[in-house]
Chains A and B, each alone.
Chain A
Amino acid sequence: MFRPRALLFCLVTAFLVAAFPVDICVGDTDAEALLLEVDGRLQPECYEAYRKLINIEPDGRRKEFVLYSAKKGRDKVIALFLEPASEKGRATLRLGDNMWLYIPNVGRPLRITSLQSVTGGIFSNSDILRLDYSQEYSVVDQAEDGAHMVLTLQAKTKAVAYDRLKMWVDQEQKLPHKTECYAATGMLIKTLHFKDIKDFGEGIRRPSVIETDSPLHKGYRSVMVFGEIKPRSFEEEVFTLSFLPRVDSLR
């Protein structure tokens, strides 16, 4: 028998439960300034970029994806798949901890989780739609390792994809050399290797290649290559669900 009141109660309860998540906060440390500098060198606050993702299988077979992405401020990122044809028009939006995926055939944005991989392979959504490290993590420990400063970063909230990062930062260039990503259980999920520092112009000099491997995917490797990255300002409304089908018009 249909009970509209009971159903309404369930919907309201589900919404209230959803509206009050539990957050954890970690305090600042002296190395926060170094992390901010790393962020500033890796990506301007507002920019557009063209990237290629390459998944490499153990037998050497490769599958490639080309993305256009735009970022505004500390917590708004959008990415549009340009190639291959099977992924063309697929767009992802990130506003802080919220992520949505728009697939042209589906025709409406769906909420997704930051841990999922849109492309297959080792890069997750949060890698592709990465925010500033200092936006999501606090430095909880630091140690010197030769030419590198090793920062241990703790996620500020439970909504962040990786609970803890261990980042090797080149002390001279103030750029990351390697980052290990850990789950809350302490399990190593993946390692990012930053390579091939390139001058992209307009004051942006950063690694152009990020190679990723994961003990969860033995023999598989993923690579992210930056083809172009340049500062550009966008209106706030670009980073909304309504705009997802129109991201291509930014190019």
Chain B
Amino acid sequence: MRLLAIGAILWSLSGTPSLAADAQQSPTFTASEFDFDFDFAVPEPEPYDIGGYLELRIGYLRLDPDSVLHRLAFLDQGDLTARWRFLSRLQLEVSYEHGSSKLLVRTNSDLVRELGDWDQRTSLHEAYWRWSPQHTLALEAGKKVMKWGKGYAWNPVAFVERPKDPDEPDLPREGFVLLVSDLVASYPAKLQTLGLTAVLIPASSSLNSDFGAGDGMNLAGKAYFLFADTDLDFMVLAGPSQPTRYGMDFARNLSPNLEVHGEWAYTPDGDHTAVGADGAVLTTRGRIHQAILGLRYLTPGDLTYILEYQQNGDGFSRAELADFYAFITEAARVYESTGDDALLRRARQMNQELFSDHPLGRRYIYLRASQKEPRDVLYLTTSATLQCNLDDRSFSLIPEAVYTGFSNWELRARLFILRGGSRTEFGEKPSQHRLELTARRFF
């Protein structure tokens, strides 16, 4: 199955050159061949709007009972070697616009069936009011997702958002409760656009509790410049909940088919926390640099490459990851020999708090090759995505096919292949293969 999927992706990725070659000899259409009625009614704007999608996803996971994280997750469930996962998701967006005001609410409801259990979660991703008395100014208050940065897989400068999953960068995420002001000005000069964004983020045990450790009001700011056809952003985050952080990003088209981008984030007084082989939490304070450098390149055959390199100064070194895995192994051994699950519970808690964010390691390469309409099949996109931890040489490879040919439907098939040695990031994941089939209906 794995070889079949990879073969199909390679076949489709290599499809276009033959198309181009065929094209040189093929006749073109003449205008007389078209005979349709093309009248359409101009849609009238409505003050309210309801939209979203319903998604059904079936996943089959081939588990690796010998991996450390499998033992952490499923130790009390025996040698589980495979499992199915069913997900139904409803993403609902409702908005109402009146004059210069707009109210927007976006909810996400997941119903999951896994290992014989049902789990239902509904969360409010966004609910905010926007007031925009003129095109140069917008004020927003409420729960909102702020997305900063130019990177596709990672965004070190995303100071006021929850981390994204590089395997699914576009997955909807929950916002924070904020107050945002946005000012923008345009100029007929080298500096074409100037934008200023200020964000107030209150944090306490009852509001934005997961934004950071300390309670109080946090302030974030971003200055955007479109200067000499280059996007430039400078950002800062200060407040009691997180250490002060500074950042910048840029993006520019070098040609009609080549874009380059980068991000850099700097934390002068950042805490780096790791776990020793004995389970002790080790925190060191110092300067933390995080950066990405990337490009997007489109070939004449409509094959898009996205390549990103990440340097994550807050990531775990190979030795630190190995220490944590050693602690889990020891916790599992104690549980199996004595029945005492205290260490195991502690390991699970640490995994949740310290090791569930992306990215885990210090240096990564991300490469995505995406072929639009392979072999002349309209609305089909095939891709292969590689994410490699350069420190431990472990990686994930995801061949994927997406079809959008039926109006308002998106059909997706993905295979996750994870590889790596002992005590490596992807080598110790609970599953080594995962097949996912997804149908999404927009409304």
Contacts and interface: CB of A to CB of B under 8 A. Distances in A.
B118 interface: no
A234 to B, nearest CB: 8
A227 interface: yes
A98 B311 contact: no
Interface of B: 19-20, 22-24, 26-31, 33-34, 36, 38-43, 45, 51, 53, 93, 97, 102, 130, 132, 134-136, 138, 145, 147-150, 152, 169-170, 172, 182, 184-186, 192-193, 195, 197, 224, 226, 228-231, 250-262, 264, 287, 289, 291, 293, 296, 298, 300, 302, 304, 311, 313, 362, 372-373, 376, 378-379, 404-405, 407-410, 442-443
B436 to A, nearest CB: 18
Contacts of A19: 228, 230, 252
Contacts of A218: 22-23, 26, 376
B34 A84 contact: no
Given A11-B291, A228-B42, A111 B186 contact: no
Contacts of A120: 372-373, 378-379, 404
Interface in A193-251: 193, 195-196, 208-209, 211, 213-221, 223, 225, 227-228, 235-243, 246, 248-249, 251
Contacts of B251: 111
Contact of A193 (B31, B135, B261, B443): B31
B38 A221 contact: no
B442 A85 contact: yes
Given A85-B443, A99-B253, A220 B378 contact: yes
A18 B226 CA distance: 13
If over half of A's interface residues share one DSSP class (helix, strand or loop), that class is named, otherwise mixed; here it is mixed
Interface string A34-51: 000000000000000010
Interface residues of A, number: 92
Contacts of A166: none
B274 to A, nearest CB: 15
A27 interface: no
A243 B19 CA distance: 39
A14 interface: yes
B138 A246 contact: yes
Nearest to A3: B311
A242 B264 contact: no
Interface in A35-77: 50, 52, 54-57, 61, 63-64, 66
A239 to B, nearest CB: 7
B186 A239 contact: yes
A93 to B, nearest CB: 10
Given A7-B264, A120-B378, A228-B42, A18 B252 contact: yes
Given A2-B362, A106-B147, 14 more contacts: A7-B264, A8-B264, A14-B262, A18-B252, A21-B255, A63-B379, A120-B379, A161-B256, A193-B31, A196-B38, A215-B28, A221-B29, A235-B134, A236-B186
Contacts of B228: 19
A104 B36 CA distance: 32
A221 B36 CA distance: 12
A160 interface: yes
A32 interface: no
A243 to B, nearest CB: 6
Contact of A107 (B145, B226, B253, B362): B145
B135 A237 contact: yes
Interface stretch (A127-135, A141-149, A183-191): A183-191
Closest 9 CB pairs of A and B: A236-B186, A213-B29, A18-B252, A108-B147, A86-B442, A193-B31, A215-B23, A225-B38, A251-B45
Contact of A113 (B29, B147, B169, B257): B257
A84 B30 CA distance: 28
B23 A213 contact: no
